[in-house]
Structure 1
Amino acid sequence: MTTLAAAVLHTQLLFSWFGFGATAIVLLVAFLLLAGMIFFIRIASSGEDKHAEIREMVETLFGTPAHLRAAPPSDASPSASSSLSPLAKPAASFSEPCPACGETVTQNDVHCPSCDLRLL
């Protein structure tokens, strides 16, 4: 009986050490993931040009992509501010059929007058 009790005790100790080791590994992996996320956020939010490509990727994934953002105002010369930027120029006039109902829409229509489809 004593050898059986000793075997049970060893088995219980083995499983307790296995549980401790598994918990330590899971906590280590969780800590490494958290540290990686914090490091990635610090890189993406820093003002340095060292990680500009990573910052652009993050901004594209979670914010407005760079090609859709408005250009910052330039303070270089007063004549530059008086001229219209390429984004502020009025769009060329057009009239096309609505993709949903076929009603003719123009550049002035935000919504289709017939089916109320939001136009881009």
Structure 2
Amino acid sequence: MSDIRFTDQHEWVRVDGDIATIGITDYAQEQLGDVVFVELPEVGKDIAAGDEAAVVESVKAASEVYSPVSGEVIDVNSDIEKTPAGVNENAMGDGWFIKLRLADPSELDKLMDEAAYSEFVESLQ
């Protein structure tokens, strides 16, 4: 999973060419508890790094999901809108939120790799 980058807000981004797939980490979904609602943006929307990209609600809390990178939304995971528990079941895989056409690949340099993110999460416990 070394091709994945992470934020300190517990979002992840996996890049394939100029397509960035974004979701929340296992740590985030564990902290949220059972996810009961996901609101995703419209396809075609431009999102800047750090902007709200989605909203996730659980039995414990509601939380914004921020985009780690800038780009245009080219796809959303309608499966998790229909079945939000998919986020809990596979947050780092099928539970992805959105796909963006990456606007500025250099933004990835500001994000943590897997080792740095693991250390960050350990520091929270």
Shorter-chain TM range is: under 0.3
- Higher Rg of the two aligned structures: 1
TM-score (norm 2): 0.16
The structure in which a higher percent of residues are strand is 2
TM-score, normalisation: structure 1 = 0.17
Which of 1 and 2 has higher RCO (CA within 8 Å, sep 6+)?
Answer: 2
